[in-house]
A and B are shown apart, each in its own frame.
Chain A
Amino acid sequence: MSGPGFSRREMLAIGGAAAGLAAMTPLAHARMLPEAMDRDVFAAACRELRAIVGEDWVFADEASTISYRKSFIPDLRGEHIPSGAVAPASVEQVQAILAVANRYKLPLWPVSTGHNMGYGMATPASSGQMILDLKRMNRIIDFDAELGTILVEPGVTYQQIHDYIEEHNLPYWLDVPTVGPIVSMVGNTLERGVGYTPYGDHFFMQCGMEVVLADGSILRTGMGSIENGNTWQAFKWGYGPYLDGIFTQSNFGVVVKMGMWLMPKPPVYKPFVVRSANFEDVAAITNTIRPFRMNNLIPNGVLIMGALYQLAMFKRRSEVFSGDGAIPMDLLKAEAARNGLGMWNTYFALYGTDEIIGAVEPILRGAFEAAGGEVLTEAEMGGNPWFEHHKTLMRGGMSLEEIGLVRWWGRNGGAVAFAPVAPAKGDQTLAQSALATEIMNKYGFDYAPAYAVGGRELHHIIFLMFDKGDDASAARAEQCIDEMITRFGERGWAAYRSSVSTMDLVAQQYGQTNREVNARIKQALDPNHILAPGKQGIA
């Protein structure tokens, strides 16, 4: 391994720039006022916000806003610069802030922990919005040890719940996205994020929420408003129209509490990887997994990890390739093999008892081997850093290792995600992989894929890594993402989620009637459009 990534002198330069805010271009500024809002009016709004949350929790100058400006995605025209941030500590403070925002027509962009990495972090869909940072609301409000349910506030991180479970010796497992320690159960679930245990579809496992609407009223979904009720976290659907969905990937309200189901800790856990040698093998892998996900013999959120995504976690591009253009396939294959990896590495796990696992394992082995894969376990792969990483994930453990891919091109970082959905059919995954490779290679980028397999579909998570320190690279990244969205769209494949920079483009693909229905709900619930205008293409 190489030595530390930067010298002391570089550190001083970096630190000096950050501390002194020696911004080189106007776009490097951390703040931008809301469009059409006078400086004095903004200042008056901030004074009112300070009266609600206290002096320390309104951030409205360059230095204190800098953390909210950070993202990994390209933003060459300064379209995602917040005006500042306000951080309430209670539901009452959220209500009071919304009243001020309505009066001043101040747009607010709510975040729970604001680490929506590859999708824009805490930055808003359009410049000038003020970040409504809910991180201080960080209580685990309830943990029902019999039902395995939890009720949390937005600022609760997966690490906090993990520590809580350990501290109280509770017989439950978490399910985390790959970046659990610093992100929130609420933010992730509202984005309809995914994890890798049998509870990997987070919104599916969500049960009840409390939402502050733009006018300050408080809605409890599902069973949450029943007088003396005790089933809020036990039964999802409530009575009448099911409302939880309209508050996910949306700007219809501020979610201040959320219930989730947790997986009972199994006595035995056995992780596997299936190593496949060739790019084309993704078709056979998909067809092999599908029936087992449908009949639940494979119970967890499976990941089919491309070689490049895996290598990028722990290596920099320059260690692998120094030529022009995208990394050639044969070179990638050889580098993967040197690290004990295939072109595709499929991670799944079995949970339960020795007897259950003993009965299921041979069925799965036979099927994957027939599809040309090598089926490997701890015995062969223990100690391999990639196997260890996925072993941690498939039991809901804490890791940030995947953030390594953000510095693939070097220390400036740079990554933006495109996540189209595919039906779980081999010809579809192969066609998507071929199209993404063609487009990305044309722009000089490497195709870094992970397929997260649900029951009947796959989220095709494509991380486009670029050099954010190089405007030309960032410009190519923007064009490349737009072309992928457009050309995938022409084939009928659309993203399940998007970065703040492409929300409108993706929304268009879901059709005009969808947009109009969303617009009408928005108008009814938030007539001043103070909550996250532009979120998922909803004004």
Chain B
Amino acid sequence: MGTSASRWRAAGGLAAAAAMAAIAMLGGNARAQATYEVQPRAPEFLYARTCGYCHGHNVAPIIRGRNLPAPVIAAMVRSGQGAMPAFKPTEITNAELQALAQWLSTAPADPREHGQ
């Protein structure tokens, strides 16, 4: 496939074209997601994009597969116990948090998670 210099140009060109096509479909102006309260995000999505970076990833305790009570989870998310940041209702809405806590309290352990 040629030198890496030509790959650079080609890759840039192709991806940019694809991207522009995608943006054209969005009406020329790339609009992002609407505010969260319009579209609640699923517990798995939130876990992967927030909790899972620390919990089960050497930084914070494993919390899946431990049957932790949902109200405890919800309270900890809001107050940010110890080294954990607190997450505000503007980041995770009350409805999202309720679903997340419910899901986590019954979620099975994930064998790929590790650490303290």
Q: Which residues of A contact B (CB under 8 A)?
A: 1-6, 8, 11-12, 14-16, 18-19, 56-57, 59, 64, 66-70, 72, 85, 87, 89, 113-115, 117, 121-122, 133, 135-136, 138-143, 145-146, 155-156, 159-160, 163-164, 168-171, 181-182, 264-268, 313-314, 316, 352-355, 385, 398-401, 403-404, 406-407, 410-415, 468-469
Contact = CB atoms under 8 A, between A and B. Distances in A.
B60 A156 contact: no
B99 interface: no
Interface of B: 3-5, 7-8, 11-12, 15-16, 18-20, 22-23, 29-37, 49-50, 53-54, 57-62, 66, 68-69, 71-76, 78-91, 114-116
Contacts of A404: 54, 58-60, 83
Contacts of B69: 11-12, 15
Given A15-B69, A403-B59, A413-B82, 11 more contacts: A1-B114, A4-B66, A11-B76, A18-B75, A135-B90, A181-B50, A266-B8, A268-B4, A313-B59, A401-B53, A404-B58
Contact of A142 (B30, B33, B71): B30
Interface of B is mostly: loop
B83 A145 contact: no
Contacts of B82: 406-407, 410-413, 468-469
B116 A2 contact: yes
Contact of B11 (A113, A181, A267): A267
27 contacts: A5-B61, A8-B68, A12-B72, A15-B73, A15-B76, A18-B79, A18-B81, A67-B86, A72-B83, A87-B89, A122-B88, A139-B35, A146-B16, A156-B32, A160-B32, A163-B49, A169-B22, A182-B87, A265-B11, A265-B12, A265-B15, A314-B115, A401-B59, A411-B82, A413-B83, A413-B84, A468-B82
Given A14-B76, A15-B76, A403-B54, A136 B85 contact: no
B32 A139 contact: yes
B83 A400 contact: no
Contacts of B5: 353, 355
B61 A168 contact: no
A145 B33 contact: no
A353 B90 contact: no
Contacts of B86: 66-70, 121
A163 B48 CA distance: 12
Given A398-B53, A411-B82, A138 B23 contact: no
Contacts, number: 207
B29 A142 contact: yes
A375 B31 CA distance: 44
Contacts of A4: 61-62, 66, 116
A390 to B, nearest CB: 15
A16 to B, nearest CB: 8
A67 B87 contact: yes
Contacts of B114: 1
B79 A399 contact: no
Nearest to A87: B90
Contacts of A18: 75-76, 78-79, 81
A117 to B, nearest CB: 7
A170 B19 contact: yes
Given A133-B90, A404-B58, A171 B116 contact: no
Please indicate which of the listed interface residues A68, A138, A412 has the most CB atoms of chain B within 10 Å of its own CB.
A138
A353 B84 CA distance: 40
Contact of B35 (A15, A136, A145): A136
A171 B15 contact: yes
A8 B8 contact: no
Given A355-B3, A411-B82, A140 B31 contact: yes
A15 B60 CA distance: 16
Nearest to B14: A171
A269 B35 CA distance: 35
Contact of B80 (A16, A70, A265): A70
A469 B59 CA distance: 19
A403 B79 contact: no
Given A139-B32, A140-B32, A403-B85, A169 B19 contact: yes
A1 B32 contact: no
A171 B11 contact: yes
B31 to A, nearest CB: 7
Given A267-B11, A398-B53, A403-B59, A138 B36 contact: yes
A529 to B, nearest CB: 25
Given A66-B78, A398-B53, A403-B83, A267 B72 contact: no
A64 B94 CA distance: 11
Contact of A8 (B60, B62, B66): B66
B59 A400 contact: yes
Contacts of B75: 14-16, 18-19
Nearest to B73: A15
Which of B49, B76, B79, B115 is packed against the most chain A CB atoms within 10 Å?
B79
A404 B62 CA distance: 14
Nearest to A266: B8
B116 to A, nearest CB: 5
A169 B115 CA distance: 33
Contacts of B22: 168-169
